Structure 1
């Protein structure tokens, strides 16, 4: 039997002869055999009748309802990180870590000096994100953070060592350096990283 009206693949299923107890006692067997079709088709009513070979049309968001956020390329991010560490090494501060993050704080590039302490890894990332989020160098945010109660914001670090990377007036990334004995030395290295990818 061919399963008509069902999307492929489908299989036949047969229900055995049905015995009714009252009739069985009288020696009567009802010779009824039920044959049907079963399929693994979607239970979604919208999919019924379409067929397994016709996938659902994807729903897309209108372009006018989306935004495209720029960010630095992977090459530029690594160039900035390397330049910042190179500056620190030239200043005798090779024990720092450098992070480059996008506007949302996601890490794009990272380099750790040979003798950089463990805590510098996260500190450099937090400085980079703080600079990116506020669109300002972290050295300029220290006083503002003290007066405005910003230090309680999660994933931020209001210490010198982070610089904002901008495209026009928009902050699109951040470079953070941590590990030097003075935050302004970290800031100098981060600035060198920015200079390496600036116009």
Structure 2
């Protein structure tokens, strides 16, 4: 085994100084590159697209979703029912979920899935349950729940949200409360 020769103190100092200088230059360069404004002006690329290339959508506001959920929850509480209410947007994303006092733990996810199912097919989930007779594989679609209690909310002929209620003893009651939430959005 060969013995490595010790480097001189001068070599170690010069090597350390060179490494420190390289690191400092790199750091300064990186900071300078991100901090300095570009010499050439940036021009945004814009294009006016024809209307046929644009699809406009309508969405329920968070305030409206909250009002609908509160109205559905209030209707259930007036009947002495402990439910959870969920409102999802037109894409099935949850806008608001209100779990009423004493609502069962399963009701949270069930309400969201009923709302998602209603907006996905733009139909009440009680109607969709009937479709399972001819298309039983519908129930296999992820995120759906084919039980009564979900209603779509429409504007200008298209779905903008879904309201789902879960926790009452029947889907008919859940749907009654979901409809109360949708009614709160009426004119």
Give the TM-score category using the shorter length.
Answer: 0.7 to 0.9
Shift of the 91–56 alpha-carbon distance from structure 1 to 2, 3 Å rule, reads same
5+ residue gaps in structure 2? 1-27
**Cα RMSD between the aligned structures?**
2.2
Distance 2:42 2:103 in 1: 53
Distance 2:48 2:144 in 1: 34
5+ residue gaps in structure 1? 1-37, 43-50
What's the CA shift string for 1:75-117, capped at 9, x where partnerless?
1111100000011011110x21000111111111221101112
Say which SS state the counterpart of residue 147 (structure 1) adopts. Answer: coil
> Are positions 1:184 and 2:160 aligned together?
no
How do 1:48-197 residues align onto structure 2 when only pairs under 5 Å count? 52-54=38-40, 56-59=42-45, 62-63=48-49, 64=51, 65-93=53-81, 95-148=82-135, 149-197=137-185
Distance 2:47 2:133 in 1: 42
- Structure number with the higher helix fraction is 2
Flag the structure with larger Rg. Answer: 1
Aligned to 1:48: none
- Structure number with the higher strand fraction is 1
Greater RCO, CA 8 A, separation 6+: 2
**TM-score (ref. length: structure 2):** 0.74
Count of aligned pairs:
153
